[in-house]
């Protein structure tokens, strides 16, 4: 990949060690002749990433989610460095960042393009999500009746605590906690997972790219909440359907050349098994 020349830093100073690590990495970037700017403001000011070659996010996955929309708009790749807990999105550890940052600045990286969800709840109410869209009752933790259509074909009516619509990237988040499937990040699909469905045969459904989903509220007197990545809420007009599809825009995410999705999953979810040389490589 091409070397980086201008780098933005977004730092979550509430995370232990984030500010100190940022100072180290910014010093490395400046020694390499890069232009550097930094902020700890959330949300990012509109246009903050304009003109940058990449954005270095130091914090947890929530910090990266807060930068994702601006990254997508400007198509500036994100370098996620984990100072949080799990770190599925912030794939560089602090140790890896210190050891490989100079190489990365010189072009030793690859870019993965992660799919986003496009959600509309009515005229002028629209947003993108990297992980998931959650639909539930806005006030109470009570059951709601939600009718779901896929390309105008009725799927079913759910009587449940809510519905999670997840990207492959978000399949390791709320979707996984609710019993949904793990999905490879390269799959261009949407997972729909009901939360505590009243009908036990209701399970996750996977929809192909291009499917346009529509959710209608069939609960009398219930106002819905639509949460985007657990950070932003969309207003839903009474009687307005909620429309969800895979966005045409993707999030560019910087990874090491030897990045392994399943190595990350094994580590973060504490699965057994160690990487071994494949028979093909031994031949």
Active site positions, annotated: 61
Provide the 8-state DSSP code for 127. Answer: E
Q: List CB contacts of 187: < 8 A, sequence separation 6 or more.
A: 168
Could you identify the residue written with the tokens 């930068």? 67
Provide the 8-state DSSP code for 169. Answer: G
Cis upstream peptide for 43 (omega within 30°) = yes
Structure tokens at 38: 């930094």
Alpha helices, DSSP H, located in the chain: 18-31, 61-74, 94-105, 174-177, 261-268, 279-282
Neighbours of 246 (CB within 10 A): 21
Please return the burial class of 142, using the count of CB atoms within 10 Å of its CB with bins 0-12, 13-18 and 19+. Answer: exposed
Contact between residue 213 and residue 164 where contact means Cβ atoms under 8 Å apart: no
Give dist(CA 17, CA 220) in Å, integer: 49
Residue 32 CA neighbour count, 13 Å, CB half: 21
How do strand 205-208 and strand 232-234 relate by DSSP bridges? unpaired
Alpha helices, DSSP H, located in 140-204: 174-177
Give dist(CA 39, CA 37) in Å, integer: 7
């Amino acid at each position: 990949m091409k070397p980086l020349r201008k780098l933005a830093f977004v730092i979550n100073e509430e995370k232990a060690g984030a500010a100190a690590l940022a100072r180290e990495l910014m010093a490395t970037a400046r020694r390499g002749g890069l232009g550097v700017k930094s902020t700890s403001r959330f949300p990012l000011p509109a246009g903050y990433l304009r003109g940058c070659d990449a954005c270095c996010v130091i914090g947890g996955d929530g910090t990266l989610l807060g930068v994702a929309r601006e990254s997508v708009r400007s198509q500036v790749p994100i370098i996620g460095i984990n100072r949080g807990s799990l770190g599925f999105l912030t794939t560089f550890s602090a140790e890896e960042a210190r050891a490989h940052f100079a190489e990365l600045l010189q072009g030793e990286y690859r870019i993965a393009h992660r799919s986003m969800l496009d959600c509309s709840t009515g005229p002028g109410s629209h947003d993108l999500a990297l992980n998931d869209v959650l639909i539930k009752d806005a006030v109470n933790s009570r059951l709601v009746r939600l009718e779901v259509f896929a390309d105008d074909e009725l799927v079913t009516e759910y009587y449940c605590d809510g519905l999670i619509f997840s990207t492959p990237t978000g399949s390791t988040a709320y979707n996984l906690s609710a019993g949904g499937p793990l999905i490879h990040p390269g799959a261009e699909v949407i997972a729909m997972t009901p939360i505590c469905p009243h009908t036990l045969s209701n399970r996750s459904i996977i929809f192909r790219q291009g499917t346009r989903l529509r959710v209608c509220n069939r609960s009398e007197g219930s106002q819905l909440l639509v949460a985007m990545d657990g950070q932003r809420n969309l207003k839903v007009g009474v009687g307005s359907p909620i429309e969800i599809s895979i966005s045409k825009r993707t999030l560019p995410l910087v990874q090491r050349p030897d990045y392994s999705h399943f190595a990350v999953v094994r580590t973060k979810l504490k699965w057994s098994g160690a990487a071994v040389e494949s028979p093909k490589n031994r031949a």
